[in-house]
Chains A and B, each alone.
Chain A
Amino acid sequence: AQSVSQHNHHVILSEAASLELGCNYSYGGTVNLFWYVQYPGQHLQLLLKYFSGDPLVKGIKGFEAEFIKSKFSFNLRKPSVQWSDTAEYFCAVNARGSARQLTFGSGTQLTVLP
């Protein structure tokens, strides 16, 4: 069975600080990897995804993530956060080549102080 670990439950940063949110997964096969964001009162929105190819993927709003296969990791990064990035961030995986459901991490609440 798949599992996803997000190590940071709550991260507090000042504006312009750099961000890195950790995500590690456990699965015996090949996976698709996702980061979703949930702004207060809103639905889950896809930030970025990795299916194959270049392990460094760029998403919306200046976010990027790097897939490191040897570490089973897919950390989310942003060089300079803004107050509007305050939200909850979820890492998720599903098995490659299927329409199987997503397995989510527990989420990281990011608070950016103005």
Chain B
Amino acid sequence: EPEVTQTPSHQVTQMGQEVILRCVPISNHLYFYWYRQILGQKVEFLVSFYNNEISEKSEIFDDQFSVERPDGSNFTLKIRSTKLEDSAMYFCASRSDRGPAEAFFGQGTRLTVV
């Protein structure tokens, strides 16, 4: 069964450093998403991406964040100058553009900012 894969599974970084979280969506999907889940809190939407551009973003997704689809398979989330409060589980998701399809989630990247 096709799945969304994310790397790394766990990333530890020092405050102020830049991190790039990587995702490989399901191959025929066209909508891509990043969500995050701070420990003990709900899953929050960050950004959606379609047709090589951001289609929607939340208020969390400020100038510190950026997304990119550098090639035909990867979808990345870059966090510049990480802060302690960026520590969270980051989930990538993708969905097809056909019909009312559900989103498929990756296993997540646990980001720890120290």
Contacts and interface: CB of A to CB of B under 8 A. Distances in A.
Say whether A and B bind each other: yes
Interface of A: 32, 34, 36, 42-46, 49, 51-52, 90, 92, 96-97, 99-107
Interface stretch (B14-22, B66-74, B79-87, B98-106): B98-106
A101 to B, nearest CB: 4
B114 interface: no
B45 A43 contact: no
Interface in B5-44: 31, 33, 35, 41-44
Nearest to B99: A51
B103 A102 contact: yes
A43 B91 contact: yes
Contacts, number: 54
Interface of B: 4, 31, 33, 35, 41-45, 48, 50, 55-56, 91, 93, 95, 97, 100, 102-108
Given A99-B55, A100-B48, A101-B56, 10 more contacts: A32-B100, A36-B105, A43-B107, A45-B105, A92-B43, A99-B48, A99-B95, A101-B45, A102-B43, A104-B42
Contact of A104 (B44, B95, B97): B44
B42 A106 contact: yes
A42 B91 CA distance: 11
A96 B97 CA distance: 13
Contacts of A49: 102
B100 A96 contact: yes
B108 A43 contact: yes
- For the complex of A and B, the 7 pairs showing the least CB-CB separation, nearest first, are A43-B107, A44-B105, A104-B43, A101-B45, A106-B42, A51-B100, A99-B31
